[in-house]
Amino acid sequence: MADKSTLFEQAKSLILYRQIFADRPGMLSVSLLNSDDSATYSQWFCELADRQQGWQDYLFDRLITADNPFTRQIQTTDWLDMPRALQQAVEQDIRSIQELFFHGCNSISQNQTVPWQNTINLPTKPAAAQLRALLNETSDWVRLIPSLITYYRQWGTGIFAEFRAFRWQNCQLQGILDPDPIELTDLVGYAWQQQTLVKNTAALVAGYPALNVLLYGSRGTGKSSLIKALLPEFGDRGLRLIEVPKQELIELPQILEQLRRLPQKFIVFVDDLSFEADEAAFKSLKVVLEGGIVNRPKNIAVYATSNRRHLIREFFADRPRPQDNDEVHQWDTVQEKLSFGDRFGLTLTFQPADQDTYLYIVHHLTADISIDPADLDFRALQWATQQNGRSGRTARQFVDFLRAELR
């Protein structure tokens, strides 16, 4: 077993993977390999405990989500095509991480009275669990570099390996730890819209041309839910979902530049879209949809929802009258407003739910509830009358209320 000073030197000598010790638990780990301070140990222990991780859990997660020149390049470049110096740096770092993985915790904890369990949580992703098992069983991790490369290519690196759903906020991507778990099988009543959107998304994930999509129609018909349900369906195949608030759309070109060279596929999700004619965000989205001198990224599609077919508010006063001495070609301005929605390559319409559709959704959501069908129909229709009318959202709210009541 390597002694403490040797492990400290290995941690400090990392070249490509130095960032795995850049967060607080990592910095405390390196400090403890160079000292026996009990206060630092307490902080280190608590940091990992808050994450519900043991030492090996922590180090493994940092390894498989590492964002460095090697992990980024290997997603599009063959190992044999990389410079030999880069290959040697990877091999050196991997061997150092292996020593720290198996012996780091014991060295850090050797003078402490609190025992530490190396492994608390196993990876939930099958690919990660398989890789973790290989690391535990292999005497030289350099032989597992091909397996590590396969993992990086499937799951990505950095924040894109840690999360599948994101929100653009404060000029940066922020990962969403617990995205809405809704799945396509939870959604019924709008079959052709779902099939069309799934087909378009499958093309995007497969690397074929995919269209930007506008989902418009009555409130509560499941437009946003349908987009969010694509993530569980395609997340394992490299799809990532990025929610961009309307007020942040002015930064859309900047977002696309960050994503265009990544191997993952991205849906930029804009919910409840509508504009005033002079909004800067309107112009930014228009450039993205129409394309400019910069080639449109093939790994990105914009999916937007709206309750309005014509996304820019138009007033009767906007329409030209012969007696007005206004803009000569004002009809051109009107047509530009009306045609903005046409710039989406695909438009899916969601009509209000009729009674049969509404009850069909209710019965689908209550398939696991034992209740008289006639009583269920009566109560569901009564709920729709008293609440927000017939829609998928109303059906969901009714069923949630019903489940709580029955329990």
Which two structure tokens, joined as six digits, stand for 197? 């959107």
Higher pLDDT, 91 or 406: 91
pLDDT at 300 over 50: yes
Mean pLDDT, range 14-24, rounded to an integer: 94
User: Residue 191: what pLDDT?
Assistant: 87
Strand 239-243 and strand 213-217: pairing?
unpaired
| Strand order from edge to edge, sheet including 346-350 | 172-175, 165-169, 239-243, 265-270, 300-306, 213-217, 346-350
* % of the chain with per-residue pLDDT over 90: 36
Kindly report, residue by residue over 336-384, the tens digit of the pLDDT: 444 555 678 888 988 888 888 889 888 988 888 888 889 998 999 999 8
CATH number of 165-350: 3.40.50.300
Q: Report the alpha-carbon distance of residue 238 to residue 219 in Å, rounded.
A: 30
Give start and end residues of each alpha helix (H) in 51-190. 55-64, 69-73, 84-109, 126-137, 145-155, 159-162
User: Residue 96: what pLDDT?
Assistant: 95
* % of the chain with per-residue pLDDT over 70: 83
Mean pLDDT, range 389-400, rounded to an integer: 87
Strand 165-169 and strand 239-243: pairing?
parallel
Residue whose C-alpha is closest to residue 60's, from 9, 3, 159, 136:
136
User: Residue 316: what pLDDT?
Assistant: 47
User: Residue 335: what pLDDT?
Assistant: 43
Q: Which residues pair with 153 in a beta bridge?
A: none
Q: Which amino acid is at 280?
A: A
- The answer to whether the beta carbons of residues 226 and 190 sit under 8 Å apart is yes
pLDDT at 333 over 90: no
Residue whose C-alpha is closest to residue 359's, from 336, 318, 391, 326:
391
Q: Report the alpha-carbon distance of residue 182 to residue 227 in Å, rounded.
A: 10
pLDDT at 118 over 60: no
Q: What is the mean pLDDT of the chain?
A: 84
pLDDT at 7 over 80: yes
DSSP, collapsed to helix, strand or coil, labels residue 377 as: helix
Q: What is the pTM of this model?
A: 0.78
DSSP class per residue in 304-370:
EEES-SS-B---GGGS--TT----TTHHHHHHHHHTGGGGSSEEEEEPPP-HHHHHHHHHHHTTTS-
Q: Label residue 10 by pLDDT band (50, 70, 90).
A: very high
Kindly report, residue by residue over 129-183, the tens digit of the pLDDT: 899 999 989 999 999 999 999 999 888 888 888 899 999 988 889 999 889 888 9
pLDDT at 227 over 60: yes
Where exactly are the structural domains of the chain?
A: 4-158, 165-350, 355-406
Q: Label residue 293 by pLDDT band (50, 70, 90).
A: low
Which two structure tokens, joined as six digits, stand for 370? 């034992």
User: Residue 329: what pLDDT?
Assistant: 43
Name the CA dihedral angle for 328, 329, 333, 335, rounded to a multiple of 10 degrees.
Answer: 140
Write out the E strands in 140-220: 165-169, 172-175, 213-217
pLDDT at 310 over 60: no
Mean pLDDT, range 223-237, rounded to an integer: 92
Q: Label residue 241 by pLDDT band (50, 70, 90).
A: very high
